[in-house]
Structure 1
Amino acid sequence: MKIILFLALVFSANTYAQDDHQIDTKTIKRFFEPLPESIIDEEENAALIKLGKTLYLDPRLSINDKISCNSCHQLDNYGVDNEPTSPGHDNKRGDRNSPTTMNAALHIAQFWDGRASDVEEQALGPILNPIEMGMPSKGAVVSKLQAINEYQKLFAAAFPDQKHPFNYNNIGVAIGAFERTLLTPSRFDDYLKGNEDALNQVEKKGLNKFINAGCVTCHNGVVIGGNSYQKIGVVESYETDDPGRFEVTHIESDKKKFKVPSLRNITKTGPYFHDGSVETLDEAIRLMAKHQLGKDVDAAFIEDVKAFLGSLTARK
């Protein structure tokens, strides 16, 4: 990954300073990786995944039996609810946008501030969050599920080697296993695997501009982001009251740093930024170019880059 970042900086600052410079396919593939076919053995873990999906969709994990993981991370809507911030069990809202669960298991960490190391840990947070699902304690969640006959069978099947499979940690293990199946290959993956015709000419032009401008410095790798933290407003200051990763690390230099979001399915997962304050992808591209790269980009740049980003949308 350090090599990728170094290459990105070199290309954006020196060799490929012009947005329309044509970059060869071999070089492009140094910045990105196609999604793997799988990151969990779905046959071997079928019972665990079945339990995880059932839990993911079950509103009974909330205090009022109305909010499920799927309420904010909708499986039929690219893993989001398209809300700036999501309403919780009593209609209160947090201060950060709900990111997609699609491909999330491939990120460096979870949540905007990286406070959870993986999807298994992340899945347990919202259940006890007083604004989100509002359950009062781990014990209350376990007791609630134990009283449901369906879960007696599902937990026993998912954890056959455990004498007492009902525990709070196993809820996260199961939901995380299910989320590891949520990979969304796109035409861009076909392109990276050698199908030159998978992208049209406008999309390829946008990809070149994306790299030449320096967007690839942060948005690279298998999920086109999700693998580093970056300060918002690194070149030109960006106003936000959110301390970002500082809340986790208490390191001064982490103020206003956030996990770089994945750009997979980005045309479908607005509104944008950590607080969901940016309604359109056009504006998000413009603001990122300005605040992260120090560039005032024109409409043609935005349209071409947006066309490339469209190639990251999951194949139906």
Structure 2
Amino acid sequence: MVYPKKNTSDINFNIFMCFLLVITIVLILIKNHNKLPYESINYMIKPSEYSILFDEPIQPIPLKVELNKDKVKLGKRLFHDPQLSQDNTISCASCHNLNTGGTDQMVRSIGINNRMGLINAPTVFNSGFNFKQHWDGSVETLEEQIDRPIHAEHEMGSNWQEIFSKLKQSPEYVSLFNQLYKDGINSDNIKDAIATFERSLYTPNSRFDQFLRGHKNALSSSEQEGYRLFKAYGCVSCHQGVNVGSNMFQAFGLFGDYFKDRGKLTKADLGRFNVTGNERDRYVFKVPSLRNVALTSPYFHDGSAETLEEAVTIMGKYELGRRLSPNDIGLIVKFLKTLTGEYQGKPL
């Protein structure tokens, strides 16, 4: 039998493509390793906690995060303390209420002197998994994030020296800081404590996470169909990973001009452009997490969508270039409602 000769150029090309693929994967792994949020934190992810569906673009939230309990306790107290604001009326919890999905469920938050905020407050739950903070991704860490609301005139309108003066009048605060930090009360330590508390605000064990871990009955057939549509339409292109988002930037209005249709452009609408000044970043935002999304209305950076149905419709039109049917929208919303997790062992 005579076998056809193999084309050497084809073989070399295939070898080259395989080599290129390996190099690309290695570079991605290196990049992601360098970008791991808070590498010093033990997220306690055991092999048994990963999705048994290895090809799924979404992975369950780890069931346990190891943190310094005393710092969490101090951070919780600071998070709820209005003394961090200029007039002692606004705390972090004012805009990020743990009883309402980690938000205030307002289009824009109200700060000191009844001043209206510039943008919709994102949820604080699972913020420790975000690759950057703020809608415009202007800061890398939770520690850095704290500076903006502290100083913003339309939020807390304070400054660190004023906050130090208030906290040092409390013997209990002085004692707590001295026990945890060699240099006592200062901005770095305040931010460290609050950020540690915020990292404790993870919400595992949603019904969808249970489904990913192999409990097929955790979702109804219609909820599973909603997830299938979520992937089929391409929603998962931006909303994936442990946090179902918050790991990349994307333009708002890939198909059609959302802002022209909505009207009345604001500075906040410029998104990441306000950070970089690059024209390509105009209307670009950090993709929000969809964890607990059923509890965090209104939606988008401008709070313009009051319901999940409205939000899915808008996303279909402007991000996917598709007009989704009411039936498909309803199924996707059913899936999204399965992303509501637990906090400290209790359903949100």
TM over 0.5: yes
Matched, 1:150 2:177: no
Letter of the 1:231 partner, please give it: A
| d(CA) in 1 for partners of 2:64, 2:180 | 20
- Cα-to-partner distance string for 1:27-66 (whole Å, 9 max, x where unaligned): 6843011101234x23xx1111111000001111111111
CA RMSD of superposed structures (Å): 1.6
What SS does the aligned partner of 1:258 have?
strand
* 1:52 alignment partner, SS class: helix
Q: TM-score, normalised on structure 2? A: 0.80
Q: Which of the residues 88, 98, 106 maps onto 1:83?
A: 106
- Given candidates 209, 212, 218, the residue that maps to 1:192 is 212
Check whether the contact 2:174–2:184 (CA below 8 A) recurs between aligned residues: no
| Residue type at the aligned position of 1:253 | R
Match of 1:264 among 285, 288, 291: 291
Contact map agreement 1:61 1:141 (CA 8 A) in 2: yes
> How does the TM-score come out when normalised to structure 1?
0.87
For 2:337 and 2:54, the matched residues in 1 are separated by: 17
**Structure 2: how far apart are the matches of 1:85 and 1:28?**
39
> Could you list the runs of 4 or more consecutive aligned residues of structure 1 that deviate by over 4 angstroms after TM superposition?
25-29
Q: Which has the higher contact order (CA 8 A, sep 6+)?
A: 1
Q: Partner of 1:172 in structure 2?
A: 191
- One-letter identity of the residue aligned with 2:163: V
Does 2:160 align with 1:138?
A: yes
Query: Which protein has the larger Cα radius of gyration, Structure 1 or Structure 2?
Result: 2
Contact 2:150–2:156, Cα closer than 8 Å, also in 1: yes
The residue matched to 1:90 in structure 2 has which SS? helix
Q: Cα deviations across residues 229-257 of structure 1 (Å, max 9, x unaligned)?
A: 00000122211441100111111100100
Aligned to 1:93: 116
- 8 Å contact from structure 2 (residues 53, 212) kept in 1: no
What one-letter code is carried by the residue in structure 1 that aligns with 2:173? Answer: Y
Deviations 1:147-179 (A, max 9, x none): 1122111211222xx1x2211121111100001
SS of structure 2 residue aligned to 1:220:
coil
* Structure 1 position 51 matched with structure 2 position 70: no
The letter of the residue matching 2:117 is G
* Offset, 1:313: 0.8
Q: Among 227, 237, 251, which residue is 2:247 paired with?
A: 227
Q: 2:326 aligns with which of 288, 295, 299?
A: 299
CA drift of 1:205 comes to 0.5
User: Does the aligned pair in 2 maintain the 1:47–1:157 contact within 8 Å?
Assistant: no
Q: For 1:146, give the aligned amino acid.
A: K
CA spacing shift, 1:64–1:302, aligned 2, 3 Å: same
Please give the per-residue CA displacement for 1:239-289, whole angstroms capped at 9, x wherever unaligned.
144110011111110010000000011111000110111111111100000
Measured after TM superposition, the shift of residue 98 of structure 1 is 0.3
Change (3 A) 1:168 1:181: same
Deviation at 1:202, TM superposition (A): 0.9
Letter in structure 1 aligned against 2:247: N
Unaligned runs of 5+ in 2: 1-23, 26-50, 260-264
